[in-house]
Amino acid sequence: MTDARPPSGPFEDLDGHTLDELVDYLDRGRTPLDPGIEASPACRIALAGLERLRLMAGGLLEEDAALERTHPDCWMTTVLDRISLEARPGRRFPVPGLPPGTEATVTEGALRGLVRAVGDSVPGLLTGRVRIEPQEPGDRMDLDIEVSMFYGFPIEDTVAEFRRRVVEILPRQAPFTVGRLDVRVADVVELPGAGAP
């Protein structure tokens, strides 16, 4: 992918693996198969985020790889750090509406991964930080989401499409409805050699 690597630190551990290892694993085409990585939900969430990032912003990643060496707060470093941090399971939310005596939970990491996948499916938008707050009686989630936009895409229309998809898809894929949904555009990034779509 690139020579860029996020800084090492205590938040980088993903079930015994680092984000560096996951980037290298993707660079090798996920071969040889690593059962430890493939069996880890946190690693799979991080791999999915890295793959989406690679598909959406490959040229930008190459450009930012050089920038990262002198500017550790560059766009790519922030996104990679967020993928690593948000791949963790986090809190467990009880599944609402189950029969008495039945318990099931959904992890915060799984919900963040779902929201990230929905957002990254919207052309011109890349999902950043996702914060989730459950509301009583427990079947509704308030979401606070930061996104990056690619230059040339209409911000208002793109964010409206993202909001529409989150509200539509989250309840179909998880047992929760969307309550408050705040979306903040944190960055507008120009892809190398790209003009308006």
**Residue 38 structural domain:** 10-86
pTM value is 0.66
Question: Which of 54, 86, 118 is the last residue before a domain boundary?
Answer: 86
Any domain includes 197? no
Any domain includes 70? yes
Give the chain's domain count.
2
Q: What is the pLDDT of residue 54?
A: 73
Q: What is the pLDDT of residue 11?
A: 37
Same domain, 48 and 80: yes
Q: What is the pLDDT of residue 159?
A: 97
Q: What is the pLDDT of residue 27?
A: 85
Residues in CB range of 152: below 8 A, 6 or more apart:
124, 190, 194, 195, 196, 197
Phi, psi of 79 (to 5 degrees): -65, -45
State the pLDDT confidence band at 34, using cuts at 50, 70 and 90.
Answer: very high
